[in-house]
Copies of this chain bind each other. A is one copy, B any other.
Amino acid sequence: MDAASTPADDRTGRERILDAAIRRFADQGVDGTSLRTIAADAGVSQALIVHHFGSKEGLREACDTHILGAIRAQMRQAAAEGRDLDVLETFRRRQEHAAALPYLARSLAEGAPSVVALVDELADETVRAMADGVENGTYVPSEHPRERALVLLIWSLGAIALHDHVRRLLGADLTGDPAGLLPYLRGATDLLTDGLFSEALRDRVRDAITQLEQER
Protein backbone atom coordinates (compact mmCIF):
# COMPACT_ATOMS: atom_id res chain seq x y z
CA MET A 1 0.00 0.00 0.00
CA ASP A 2 1.13 3.52 -0.59
CA ALA A 3 0.74 4.59 3.03
CA ALA A 4 3.43 7.16 2.52
CA SER A 5 1.44 9.25 0.09
CA THR A 6 -1.92 10.90 0.27
CA PRO A 7 -4.39 9.94 -2.47
CA ALA A 8 -3.63 13.04 -4.50
CA ASP A 9 0.11 13.29 -4.09
CA ASP A 10 1.31 15.87 -6.54
CA ARG A 11 4.93 15.60 -5.58
CA THR A 12 7.18 14.34 -8.32
CA GLY A 13 7.91 10.65 -8.44
CA ARG A 14 11.51 11.28 -7.52
CA GLU A 15 10.50 13.02 -4.30
CA ARG A 16 8.05 10.28 -3.32
CA ILE A 17 10.70 7.63 -3.93
CA LEU A 18 13.27 9.45 -1.83
CA ASP A 19 10.77 9.92 0.96
CA ALA A 20 9.67 6.30 0.99
CA ALA A 21 13.26 5.08 0.79
CA ILE A 22 14.35 7.20 3.74
CA ARG A 23 11.52 5.89 5.84
CA ARG A 24 12.08 2.25 4.92
CA PHE A 25 15.86 2.41 5.16
CA ALA A 26 15.51 4.01 8.59
CA ASP A 27 13.37 1.31 10.12
CA GLN A 28 14.31 -1.83 8.19
CA GLY A 29 17.84 -1.09 7.09
CA VAL A 30 19.09 -0.91 3.53
CA ASP A 31 19.61 -4.65 3.12
CA GLY A 32 16.24 -5.32 4.70
CA THR A 33 14.40 -3.18 2.17
CA SER A 34 13.74 -4.18 -1.42
CA LEU A 35 13.27 -1.79 -4.30
CA ARG A 36 9.85 -3.33 -4.80
CA THR A 37 8.74 -2.24 -1.35
CA ILE A 38 9.96 1.29 -1.88
CA ALA A 39 8.27 1.41 -5.27
CA ALA A 40 5.00 0.23 -3.77
CA ASP A 41 5.23 2.80 -0.98
CA ALA A 42 5.86 5.56 -3.47
CA GLY A 43 3.11 4.37 -5.79
CA VAL A 44 5.59 3.96 -8.59
CA SER A 45 7.19 1.24 -10.64
CA GLN A 46 10.42 -0.37 -9.59
CA ALA A 47 12.02 0.57 -12.88
CA LEU A 48 11.47 4.24 -12.17
CA ILE A 49 13.71 4.03 -9.12
CA VAL A 50 16.52 2.70 -11.24
CA HIS A 51 15.75 5.31 -13.88
CA HIS A 52 16.15 8.14 -11.41
CA PHE A 53 18.92 6.86 -9.17
CA GLY A 54 20.81 4.40 -11.33
CA SER A 55 20.90 1.66 -8.75
CA LYS A 56 19.96 0.80 -5.20
CA GLU A 57 23.36 2.05 -4.11
CA GLY A 58 22.66 5.29 -5.94
CA LEU A 59 19.39 5.64 -4.09
CA ARG A 60 21.15 4.99 -0.84
CA GLU A 61 23.68 7.71 -1.59
CA ALA A 62 20.90 10.12 -2.46
CA CYS A 63 19.22 9.40 0.87
CA ASP A 64 22.53 9.84 2.67
CA THR A 65 23.31 13.19 1.14
CA HIS A 66 19.74 14.31 1.74
CA ILE A 67 19.53 13.39 5.42
CA LEU A 68 23.11 13.54 6.55
CA GLY A 69 23.50 16.78 4.63
CA ALA A 70 20.56 18.26 6.51
CA ILE A 71 22.04 17.18 9.82
CA ARG A 72 25.39 18.61 8.80
CA ALA A 73 23.76 21.93 7.96
CA GLN A 74 22.05 22.08 11.34
CA MET A 75 25.29 21.30 13.07
CA ARG A 76 27.06 24.13 11.25
CA GLN A 77 24.23 26.49 12.03
CA ALA A 78 24.31 25.56 15.71
CA ALA A 79 28.07 26.01 15.74
CA ALA A 80 27.78 29.42 14.12
CA GLU A 81 25.20 30.53 16.64
CA GLY A 82 27.44 29.41 19.46
CA ARG A 83 24.86 27.08 20.97
CA ASP A 84 26.57 24.26 22.72
CA LEU A 85 24.41 23.11 25.60
CA ASP A 86 23.88 19.58 24.47
CA VAL A 87 25.20 17.72 21.51
CA LEU A 88 21.81 16.17 20.99
CA GLU A 89 20.29 19.59 20.82
CA THR A 90 22.21 20.13 17.62
CA PHE A 91 19.86 17.83 15.82
CA ARG A 92 16.55 18.36 17.42
CA ARG A 93 15.15 20.97 15.06
CA ARG A 94 12.16 18.80 14.24
CA GLN A 95 9.41 19.58 11.75
CA GLU A 96 10.14 18.32 8.27
CA HIS A 97 13.26 16.62 9.56
CA ALA A 98 11.27 14.11 11.57
CA ALA A 99 12.90 11.24 9.69
CA ALA A 100 16.43 12.51 10.17
CA LEU A 101 17.21 11.04 13.57
CA PRO A 102 15.86 7.54 12.96
CA TYR A 103 17.78 7.52 9.69
CA LEU A 104 20.93 8.64 11.47
CA ALA A 105 20.40 5.96 14.10
CA ARG A 106 20.16 3.26 11.47
CA SER A 107 23.17 4.61 9.59
CA LEU A 108 25.20 4.57 12.78
CA ALA A 109 24.11 1.04 13.56
CA GLU A 110 24.91 -0.21 10.07
CA GLY A 111 28.26 1.51 10.07
CA ALA A 112 27.39 3.18 6.78
CA PRO A 113 30.51 4.59 5.14
CA SER A 114 28.92 7.95 4.52
CA VAL A 115 28.21 8.42 8.21
CA VAL A 116 31.89 8.20 9.03
CA ALA A 117 32.62 11.59 7.50
CA LEU A 118 29.71 13.13 9.37
CA VAL A 119 30.79 11.67 12.68
CA ASP A 120 34.31 12.93 12.10
CA GLU A 121 32.96 16.43 11.51
CA LEU A 122 30.80 16.17 14.60
CA ALA A 123 33.87 15.08 16.52
CA ASP A 124 35.90 18.09 15.43
CA GLU A 125 33.00 20.37 16.18
CA THR A 126 32.38 18.85 19.62
CA VAL A 127 36.02 19.09 20.63
CA ARG A 128 36.11 22.70 19.50
CA ALA A 129 32.82 23.65 21.16
CA MET A 130 33.79 22.07 24.45
CA ALA A 131 37.14 23.82 24.46
CA ASP A 132 35.25 27.08 24.03
CA GLY A 133 32.90 26.06 26.81
CA VAL A 134 35.78 25.47 29.19
CA GLU A 135 37.29 28.80 28.26
CA ASN A 136 34.16 30.78 29.00
CA GLY A 137 33.38 28.85 32.15
CA THR A 138 30.45 26.80 30.94
CA TYR A 139 32.21 23.49 31.45
CA VAL A 140 34.68 22.46 34.09
CA PRO A 141 38.24 21.93 32.89
CA SER A 142 39.52 18.45 32.14
CA GLU A 143 42.83 16.67 32.16
CA HIS A 144 41.94 15.01 28.86
CA PRO A 145 39.70 17.50 27.04
CA ARG A 146 39.81 15.74 23.70
CA GLU A 147 39.02 12.30 25.10
CA ARG A 148 36.30 13.79 27.26
CA ALA A 149 34.62 15.52 24.33
CA LEU A 150 34.80 12.47 22.12
CA VAL A 151 33.42 10.14 24.77
CA LEU A 152 30.53 12.50 25.31
CA LEU A 153 29.84 12.53 21.57
CA ILE A 154 29.99 8.73 21.43
CA TRP A 155 27.57 8.50 24.34
CA SER A 156 25.13 10.86 22.67
CA LEU A 157 25.31 9.11 19.33
CA GLY A 158 25.16 5.72 21.00
CA ALA A 159 21.99 6.70 22.79
CA ILE A 160 20.48 7.66 19.44
CA ALA A 161 21.59 4.40 17.89
CA LEU A 162 19.90 2.54 20.76
CA HIS A 163 16.83 4.75 20.85
CA ASP A 164 14.53 1.75 20.85
CA HIS A 165 16.09 0.53 24.08
CA VAL A 166 15.97 4.03 25.49
CA ARG A 167 12.27 4.18 24.77
CA ARG A 168 11.64 0.80 26.32
CA LEU A 169 13.76 1.28 29.43
CA LEU A 170 13.25 4.96 30.14
CA GLY A 171 10.11 5.83 28.26
CA ALA A 172 12.03 8.63 26.58
CA ASP A 173 11.74 9.33 22.86
CA LEU A 174 15.11 10.54 21.62
CA THR A 175 13.86 11.08 18.10
CA GLY A 176 10.88 13.23 19.04
CA ASP A 177 10.30 16.64 20.49
CA PRO A 178 12.31 17.83 23.51
CA ALA A 179 9.53 17.09 26.01
CA GLY A 180 9.72 13.40 25.14
CA LEU A 181 13.30 13.00 26.24
CA LEU A 182 12.75 14.24 29.77
CA PRO A 183 13.60 10.98 31.57
CA TYR A 184 16.79 10.71 29.57
CA LEU A 185 17.73 14.29 30.37
CA ARG A 186 17.18 13.69 34.07
CA GLY A 187 19.62 10.80 34.14
CA ALA A 188 22.12 12.50 31.87
CA THR A 189 22.19 15.80 33.75
CA ASP A 190 22.48 13.97 37.04
CA LEU A 191 25.61 12.29 35.77
CA LEU A 192 27.03 15.39 34.11
CA THR A 193 26.49 17.80 36.97
CA ASP A 194 27.64 15.90 40.03
CA GLY A 195 29.49 13.08 38.37
CA LEU A 196 29.07 9.55 39.66
CA PHE A 197 32.16 8.53 41.59
CA SER A 198 32.39 9.31 45.27
CA GLU A 199 35.55 10.66 46.82
CA ALA A 200 36.44 7.18 47.97
CA LEU A 201 36.10 5.68 44.50
CA ARG A 202 38.04 8.39 42.69
CA ASP A 203 41.40 7.30 44.00
CA ARG A 204 40.71 3.66 43.31
CA VAL A 205 39.74 4.49 39.72
CA ARG A 206 42.74 6.75 39.26
CA ASP A 207 45.04 4.04 40.55
CA ALA A 208 43.51 1.45 38.27
CA ILE A 209 44.06 3.71 35.26
CA THR A 210 47.66 4.56 36.04
CA GLN A 211 48.27 0.89 36.56
CA LEU A 212 46.85 0.23 33.10
CA GLU A 213 49.08 2.95 31.70
CA GLN A 214 52.16 1.34 33.13
CA GLU A 215 51.20 -2.12 31.95
CA ARG A 216 51.28 -1.20 28.32
* 6 more A-B residue pairs beyond the given contacts A146-B187, A151-B190, with a C-beta to C-beta distance below 8 A: A139-B197, A140-B197, A148-B190, A148-B196, A152-B196, A192-B195
* Contact of A197 with B189 in the complex, beta carbons under 8 Å: yes
Chain B residues contacting A144 (CB-CB under 8 Å) are 183, 186-187, 190
B137 A198 Cβ-Cβ under 8 A: yes
Residues of B contacting A194 in the complex (Cβ-Cβ under 8 angstroms): 140, 142, 195
18 contacts between A and B (CB under 8 A): A29-B31, A29-B110, A31-B31, A85-B205, A108-B165, A109-B109, A138-B198, A138-B200, A142-B194, A144-B186, A147-B184, A147-B187, A147-B190, A154-B169, A155-B159, A157-B165, A189-B197, A193-B202
- Picked from B108, B140, B185, the residue with its CB within 8 Å of the CB of A198 is B140
Which residues of A approach B to under 8 Å, CB–CB?
A: 29, 31-32, 85, 108-111, 116, 119-120, 123, 137-140, 142-144, 146-155, 157-159, 161-162, 164-166, 168-170, 178-179, 182-198, 200-202, 204-206, 208-209, 212-213, 215-216
* Contact indicator B185/A209 (Cβ below 8 Å): yes
A197 CA to B146 CA, complexed, in Å: 16
Number of copies of chain A assembled together: 2
List residues of chain B with CB within 8 A of the CB of A108. Answer: 109, 161-162, 165
